[in-house]
Amino acid sequence: MIPTEQEKALTEQLTGYGWRLWFEDEPDGSVTGYLLNFDTGEPLKSAVGTDFEEAYLNLGIDTLPPSLELRRERVVRKKQP
């Protein structure tokens, strides 16, 4: 499947924030979503929903992007050898 322009923009924004998303189906039929540090894979936040959409929405509740200062620091770290 070829990503849409909207999906490409979202991916670019998430990686710019230093985040990635991961979702897993649970044995009871629910879905768990994780907000992960892009570089380390460390979980920053998780949320559970009865389905993907609910897990996705629950993950976004009270999630704010990192400050501009933190984003700039991440860019500087990535440029260092």
The model carries a pTM of 0.68
Question: What is the pLDDT, as a whole number, of residue 45?
Answer: 94
Q: What totals of helices (H) and strands (E) does the chain contain, helices first?
A: 3, 3
Helix (H) or strand (E) holding 75: helix 68-79
Question: What is the pLDDT, as a whole number, of residue 40?
Answer: 86
Q: Where are the domains of the chain?
A: 19-79
Q: Mind listing the pLDDT tens digit for each residue in 3-52?
A: 578 777 766 666 677 888 899 999 999 999 999 988 888 999 999 999 99
- Whether the pLDDT of residue 1 is over 60: the answer is no
Question: What is the pLDDT, as a whole number, of residue 32?
Answer: 97
Q: What is the 3-state secondary structure (H, E, C) of 12-29?
A: HHHHHHCEEEEEEECCCC
Q: Between 39 and 71, where is the model more confident?
A: 39
